[in-house]
């Protein structure tokens, strides 16, 4: 039996300059946040997950929705997301945190399990798959030891290190044991963007869900890639959208 407690944290806020209220925007009849959680809960290695939202009254709706739907929710600092995630993880006595966001409704539970498996089988502080972008943008996960997160919290000062949870680790690779998983050939598609940060992103993801979800609610990354490759015009929907923050941009 593993000595670790693996907890996923999902950062969720209503504030967004490019797509206001995106966390609760409908995606195939359910809030975007629901679709994110629906994917994460399929991961075998994740025993618990916490929505980590802020104490800003604008996020009351997220907390109320979580309570109605039975999802665990922690409220913390609006700007210090690192602190918020650490607090959320502590409430579940996590030793390993799978750090995720509420803007990626195509998370792949099999990839999450693979990353957690790599972490548990080795002596890493941080395991991810987007230090170099090889998978589609938005199909990623960050597996971090609680000890590394607490070290980051103790030393992070730059506002960007407080906003981007793993950024202190990205900025100080000499202090942490880091592993990046690159995509196998059948999942290699870094040109594809399926995170939701702009209205165009939502349009593309909605097209993917409409095509794949009714056939198989447990569709995976390989299905997404096959669908988009068969319909290459979809790539133009959000081709101009730029990623604001990511490990590979650090």
Q: Report d(CA 89, CA 50) in Å as an integer.
A: 8
Residues 6+ positions from 61 with CB-CB distance below 8 Å: 14, 24
CATH class of 6-249: alpha beta
From the centroid of its chain, how far is CA 14? 16
pTM: 0.95
Q: Report d(CA 244, CA 71) in Å as an integer.
A: 28
Point out which residues pair with 54 in neighbouring strands. Answer: 76
pLDDT in tens, the chain (250 residues): 458 999 999 999 998 777 888 999 999 999 999 999 999 999 999 989 999 999 999 999 999 999 999 999 999 999 999 999 999 999 999 999 999 999 999 999 999 999 999 999 999 999 999 999 999 999 999 999 999 999 999 999 999 999 999 999 999 999 999 999 999 999 999 999 999 999 999 999 999 999 999 999 999 999 999 999 999 999 999 999 998 877 777 6
What is the torsional sign of CA 250, 178, 154, 143?
positive
Q: Please report, for the chain, the start and end positions of each structural domain, with discontinuous segments joined by +.
A: 6-249
- How wide is the angle at C-alpha 70 spanned by C-alphas 119 and 97, nearest 5°? 15
pLDDT at 123: 95
Torsion of CA 185, 190, 192, 197, to 10 degrees: 140
């Amino acid at each position: 039996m593993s000595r670790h407690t693996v907890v996923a944290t999902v950062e969720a806020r209503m504030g967004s300059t490019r797509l206001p209220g995106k966390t609760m925007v409908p995606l195939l009849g359910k809030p975007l946040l629901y679709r994110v959680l629906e994917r994460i809960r399929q991961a075998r290695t994740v025993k618990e997950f916490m929505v980590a939202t802020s104490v800003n009254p604008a996020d009351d709706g997220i907390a109320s929705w979580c309570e109605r739907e039975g999802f665990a929710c922690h409220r913390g600092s609006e700007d210090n997301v690192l602190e918020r995630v650490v607090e959320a993880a502590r409430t579940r006595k996590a030793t390993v945190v799978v750090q995720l966001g509420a803007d990626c409704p195509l998370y792949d539970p099999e990839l999450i399990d693979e990353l957690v498996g790599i972490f548990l089988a080795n002596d890493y502080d941080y395991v991810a798959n987007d230090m170099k972008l090889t998978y589609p943008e938005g199909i990623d996960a960050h597996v971090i030891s609680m000890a590394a997160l607490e070290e980051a919290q103790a030393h992070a000062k730059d506002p960007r290190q407080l906003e981007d949870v793993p950024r202190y680790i990205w900025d100080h690779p000499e202090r942490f044991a880091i592993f990046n998983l690159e995509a196998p050939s059948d999942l290699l598609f870094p040109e594809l963007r399926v995170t939701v940060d702009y209205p165009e992103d939502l349009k593309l993801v909605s097209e993917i869900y409409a095509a794949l979800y009714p056939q198989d609610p447990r569709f995976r990354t390989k299905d997404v890639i096959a669908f988009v490759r068969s319909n290459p015009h979809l790539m133009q929907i959000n081709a101009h959208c730029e990623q604001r923050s990511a490990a590979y941009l650090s």
